[in-house]
Amino acid sequence: MSVIEVKNLTKDYGSGRGVFDVSFSVDKGEVFGFLGPNGAGKSTTIRHLMGFSKPDSGETLILGKPTFEAYSQILNHVGYIPGEIALPAGLTGFEFLKMMQDMQNKHDAERLKMLRELFELGDVMLKNETKRMSLGEKRKLAVVTAFMHDPEILILDEPTSGLDPVMQHHFIEFIHEEKKRGKTILLSSHIFSEVDETCEKIAIIKDGKIVSQFVADELKHASRKFYDISFLTKDMKEDFKKQSNGIHSIQILHEDGNNLYLSIEDDDMNSTIALLSQYKIVKFGNKRESLEDYFMKFYKEDKDFGGAL
């Protein structure tokens, strides 16, 4: 059952900005990664899912209800961390937590205590006015606020931005625990490790359009492998290139001097090894294609990745 649905969502802000015909769904109990650099359209999509904006065309649904029209009915089912934290002025951290508990209509003291300890949100920090908090403190407050009413759906936009590495680790471990409890999670991020460690399905967005959707395990266990090969001489490398034309799945991705970087399907590996045995090889290394490698195929011509490195 799809808990979160984005169907042909289009919001055109002009000059190529916005999102265009975006579609994906997140099933119950699934962690879905929404990957792309800053400005690619992640936050625009999420603002529509949260009911903050009305689509030009298409629709966004949570629990089968259109989010813009049924915002108030959906709110208590969702925990949300915005990409940019804007907390109300004139409130202390304690007062902000109390205000959000009242809005969520749930006061779970034990869960709040657990979350505060996990993310090191102490009394001294919470006595400060929100405007005096650092970015990391604001982010921790937003994380605790999103989780404290124990929502069944989590929509997280760049959730660890501004957190130190220890807190990032705590957050990833916590997401694993929430997943075990059956939560449905949409995680929007430009941090490869965060998406790779938590998500079952992943969509990549570029210039407001989905350019790839895939199951994470399919990438991790793909039959196509990548190899770094160094030949003793450049002539050997050139001869190998000519002879390898008969091996269908070989793709030469990069070369430099005596070195080749290529990919090949497992089924053609034996014939490739047989061919390589005819040459003097200085180095032979295998590398699994990472999420970052796969992502960069879609952005390899761009010079500015907006932080997605």
CA 167 to chain centre: 17
Q: Is 223-287 a CATH 3.30.70.920 domain?
A: yes
Lowest-confidence segment of 121-125, 151-155, 189-193, 228-232 by average pLDDT: 189-193
**In degrees to the nearest 10, what's the CA dihedral of 41, 78, 213, 308?**
50
Positive or negative, the Cα torsion across 171, 175, 177, 181?
positive
Give domain limits for the chain: 2-219, 223-287
Confidence of residue 309 (pLDDT cuts 50, 70, 90): very low
| Choice between 218 and 65, residue whose per-residue pLDDT is larger | 65
Q: Cα angle vertex 79, ends 193, 196, to 5°?
A: 15
Nearest alpha-carbon partner for 137 in 99, 91, 168, 93: 93
Quick one: pLDDT at residue 304?
44
Lowest-confidence segment of 37-41, 97-101, 180-184 by average pLDDT: 37-41
Record the tokens describing residue 304, joined without a space. 């500015």
Quick one: pLDDT at residue 290?
83
Calculate mean pLDDT across residues 23-41: 95
Whole-number Å distance between alpha carbons of 81 and 105:
18
Quick one: pLDDT at residue 303?
45
Confidence of residue 289 (pLDDT cuts 50, 70, 90): confident
Nearest alpha-carbon partner for 22 in 7, 40, 42, 11: 7
Calculate mean pLDDT across residues 27-47: 95
Superfamily, domain 2-219: P-loop containing nucleotide triphosphate hydrolases (3.40.50.300)
Considering the entire predicted model, what is its pTM?
Answer: 0.80
CA 184 to chain centre: 15
Contacts of 77 (CB under 8 A, 6+ apart): 62, 63, 151, 152, 153
* 308 has pLDDT over 60: no
* 302 has pLDDT over 80: no
What phi, psi does 235 have (nearest 5°)? Answer: -60, -40
User: pLDDT tens, 127-141?
Assistant: 999 999 999 999 999
Per-residue three-class SS string for the chain: CEEEEEEEEEEEEECCEEEEEEEEEEECCCEEEEECCCCCCHHHHHHHHCCCCCCCEEEEEECCEECCCCHHHHHHHEEEECCCCCCCCCCEHHHHHHHHHHHHCCCCHHHHHHHHHHCCCCHHHHHCEHHHCCHHHHHHHHHHHHHCCCCCEEEEECCCCCCCHHHHHHHHHHHHHHHHCCCEEEEEECCHHHHHHHCCEEEEEECCEEEEEEEHHHHHCCCEEEEEEEECCHHHHHHHHHHHHHCCCCEEEEEECCEEEEEEEHHHHHHHHHHHCCCCEEEEEEECCCHHHHHHHHHCCCCCCCCCC
User: pLDDT tens, 174-191?
Assistant: 999 999 999 999 999 989
User: pLDDT tens, 158-178?
Assistant: 999 989 999 999 999 999 999
Quick one: pLDDT at residue 293?
83
